[in-house]
């Protein structure tokens, strides 16, 4: 785990387990201020690793974490397992090549639960791949852009209540898209551009106001994220346009900025992008827009984090301690927001068994916070692919995700940022812990998007502060 930024105190305040109160004990010196308008920050949780019988419980937990959206990964190979018969209309969702049963359960139950789906579409069926020259993972090899565009039209018609889509998953990894490099030259961005433009055109043919996100890039890569972007948008190393280039059609750009350390850590490689590198990615996106290499139906191109998380040390002994995890959740949301991100997706609702699988980044444990439930031979096995009512909540991390709040010392000032639960307009009380109790320091007003900020001169260098919604108590 990387060391904290200079000047950071390591005292941690346990978050009170109530909706209206969140406390934080950290001060950071030298964190640069970011000049940002009070734009919104919506949150989502990735689709639960749950069976259909547990979906209602899973979606209720996602809503309880303050999320408005759920990210649902839809496999093209599952939805359209067979090639459309010659002479039939593959843009019609009633075409016999489609099988909507599995995706309907997740999408329609999410909508019924009051969650807005963000659907990420990838993994081509075998009939839509071109394996004449290259091999690779199933669903990844030179997918047909034309067939992908037909699928997009059918998707938009079949799911008229879905308005946010993401094109492919981590296309800069050969695990997801092949080939990445041909003849020593980067090839995957050009291949991805064809998929992107076909899918965007298909969605917008039906729903002009839908948001189609491109990117969804991996932090670890076959082609580095910024190099992939420059290839996609035909920019040189100085972000200047080079050569002729087919315009990329998109309404949002997304990324998966995992870190090896804390929320401000950088990748450490020239073209890598972790949380601390998000401003560099945003700069590259803006350069592409300025060079007219991007077309959108929206007023501007949004910036998303469509997958991010840290594992916790229960049960993974090499992961982040639970109290630090809760603090980092708030800081990750702040770091994303200050970098211009308007949508942040947490990866995993619930841990998967340890050590059989590598995902312990959920907001809920797999059963109890121990390894005893993770053994498939145990009578109390928590199960993989199912959720249990007895899954223990990582309560402090859930509260931090629902009601993020951070406070820093910067250049002789205290600077705070937060977002109210469910992003609503509220008055927020800022209080400091003293020997006699909690003392009010300031008030902040959250706008319609729930964001609140304050900054004031102060000589204090430590302490425990909390944000409390006006009209709530800690009792």
pLDDT in tens, 50-96: 888 899 999 999 999 999 999 999 999 999 999 999 999 999 999 99
Confidence of residue 34 (pLDDT cuts 50, 70, 90): very low
Provide the 3-class DSSP secondary structure of residue 20.
coil
Owner of token pair 């949301």 = 333
Distance of alpha carbon 62 from alpha carbon 306, whole angstroms: 15
Q: Give the per-residue pLDDT at 100.
A: 98
The string over 15-24, giving b where at least 16 C-beta atoms fall within 10 Å of a residue's C-beta and e elsewhere, is bbeebbbbbb
Q: Give the per-residue pLDDT at 474.
A: 58
The alpha carbon torsion through 194, 198, 201, 203 (nearest 10 deg) reads: -130
Mean pLDDT across 191-203: 98
Do you know the residue count of the chain? 475
CATH architecture of 36-402: Alpha-Beta Barrel (3.20)
Q: DSSP per residue over 42-80, as a string?
A: EEEEEPPS--GGGHHHHHHHHHHTT-SEEEEEEEHHHHS
Strands, DSSP E only, in 219-356? 248-249, 252-256, 294-295, 302-308, 343-346
Write the pLDDT tens digit of every residue in 296-311: 999 999 999 999 999 9
Q: Give the per-residue pLDDT at 35.
A: 39
Confidence of residue 372 (pLDDT cuts 50, 70, 90): confident
Q: Give the per-residue pLDDT at 2.
A: 33
Of the candidates 243, 251, 159, which has an alpha carbon nearest to the alpha carbon of residue 201?
251
- Any idea which of 26-35, 256-265, 286-295, 344-353 has the lowest mean pLDDT? 26-35
Mean pLDDT across 207-212: 98
Q: Give the per-residue pLDDT at 16.
A: 38
- What is the DSSP secondary structure assignment for residue 127, as one 8-state letter? G
Write the pLDDT tens digit of every residue in 135-180: 999 999 999 999 999 999 999 999 999 999 999 999 999 999 999 9
- Any idea which of 10-24, 73-87, 348-362 has the lowest mean pLDDT? 10-24
Torsions phi, psi for 335 (to 5 deg): -60, -40
pLDDT above 70 (res 10): no
Tokens for 34, please give them.
């970011």
- Any idea which of 31-45, 188-202, 318-332, 338-352 has the lowest mean pLDDT? 31-45
- What is the DSSP secondary structure assignment for residue 145, as one 8-state letter? H
Confidence of residue 315 (pLDDT cuts 50, 70, 90): confident
Q: Give the per-residue pLDDT at 7.
A: 29
Confidence of residue 24 (pLDDT cuts 50, 70, 90): low
Number of H helices, E strands in the chain: 9, 19
Mean pLDDT across 114-127: 98
Mean pLDDT across 214-229: 93
Write the pLDDT tens digit of every residue in 420-444: 998 999 999 999 999 999 999 999 9
Confidence of residue 27 (pLDDT cuts 50, 70, 90): very low
- Any idea which of 125-139, 189-203, 366-380 has the lowest mean pLDDT? 366-380
Write the pLDDT tens digit of every residue in 268-277: 888 999 999 9
Q: Give the per-residue pLDDT at 343.
A: 98
Tell me the average pLDDT of the chain: 91
- What is the DSSP secondary structure assignment for residue 238, as one 8-state letter? T
Write the pLDDT tens digit of every residue in 230-267: 999 999 999 999 999 999 999 999 999 999 999 999 99
Q: Give the per-residue pLDDT at 5.
A: 34
Confidence of residue 386 (pLDDT cuts 50, 70, 90): confident
Of the candidates 436, 432, 402, which has an alpha carbon nearest to the alpha carbon of residue 419?
402
Torsions phi, psi for 215 (to 5 deg): 105, -100
Provide the 3-class DSSP secondary structure of residue 142.
coil
* Cα dihedral across residues 230, 286, 406, 67: positive or negative: negative
Confidence of residue 38 (pLDDT cuts 50, 70, 90): confident
350 contact partners, CB below 8 Å, separation of at least 6: 48, 49, 50, 58, 362, 363, 364, 365, 366, 387, 391
């Amino acid at each position: 785990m990387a060391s904290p930024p200079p000047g950071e105190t390591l005292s941690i305040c346990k978050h009170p387990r109530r909706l209206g109160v969140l406390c934080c004990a950290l001060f950071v010196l030298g964190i640069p201020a970011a000049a940002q308008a009070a734009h919104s920050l919506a949150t989502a949780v990735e689709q639960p690793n749950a069976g259909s019988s547990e979906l209602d419980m899973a979606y209720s937990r996602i809503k309880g974490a303050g999320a408005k959206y759920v990210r649902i990964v839809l496999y093209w190979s599952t939805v359209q397992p067979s090639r459309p018969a010659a002479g039939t209309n593959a843009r019609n969702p009633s075409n016999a090549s489609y099988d909507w049963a599995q995706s309907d359960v997740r999408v329609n139950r999410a909508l019924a639960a009051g969650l807005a789906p963000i659907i990420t579409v990838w993994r081509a069926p075998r009939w839509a791949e071109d394996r004449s020259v290259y091999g690779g993972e199933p669903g990844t090899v030179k997918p047909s852009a034309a067939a992908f565009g037909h699928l997009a039209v059918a998707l938009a018609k079949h799911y008229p209540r879905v308005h946010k889509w993401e094109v492919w998953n981590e296309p800069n990894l050969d695990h997801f898209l092949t080939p990445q490099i041909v003849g020593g030259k980067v090839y995957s961005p050009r291949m991805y551009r064809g998929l992107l433009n076909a899918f965007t055109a298909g969605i917008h043919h039906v729903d002009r106001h839908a948001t189609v996100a491109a990117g969804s890039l991996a932090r670890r890569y076959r082609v580095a994220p910024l190099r992939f972007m420059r290839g996609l948008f035909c920019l040189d190393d100085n972000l200047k346009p080079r050569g002729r280039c087919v315009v990329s059609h998109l309404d949002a750009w997304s990324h998966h900025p995992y870190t090896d350390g804390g929320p401000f850590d950088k990748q450490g490689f020239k073209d890598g992008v972790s949380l601390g590198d998000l401003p560099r990615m945003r700069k590259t996106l803006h350069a592409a827009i300025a060079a007219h290499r991007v077309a959108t139906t929206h007023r501007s191109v949004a910036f998303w984090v469509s997958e991010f998380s840290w594992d916790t040390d229960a049960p993974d002994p090499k992961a982040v301690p639970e109290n630090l995890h809760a603090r980092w959740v708030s800081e990750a949301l702040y770091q994303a927001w200050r970098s211009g991100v308007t949508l942040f997706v947490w990866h995993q609702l619930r841990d998967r068994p340890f050590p059989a699988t590598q995902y312990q980044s959920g907001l809920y444990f797999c059963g109890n916070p121990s390894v005893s439930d993770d053994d498939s031979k145990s009578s109390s096995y928590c199960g993989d692919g199912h959720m249990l009512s007895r899954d223990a909540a990582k309560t402090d991390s859930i509260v931090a995700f629902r009601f993020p709040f951070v406070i820093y010392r910067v250049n002789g000032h205290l600077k705070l940022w937060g977002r109210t639960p469910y992003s609503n307009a509220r008055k927020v009380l800022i209080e400091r812990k003293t020997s006699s109790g909690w003392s009010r320091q300031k008030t902040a007003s959250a706008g319609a998007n729930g964001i609140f900020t304050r900054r004031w001169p102060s000589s204090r260098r430590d302490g425990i502060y909390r944000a409390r919604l006006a009209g709530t108590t800690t009792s």
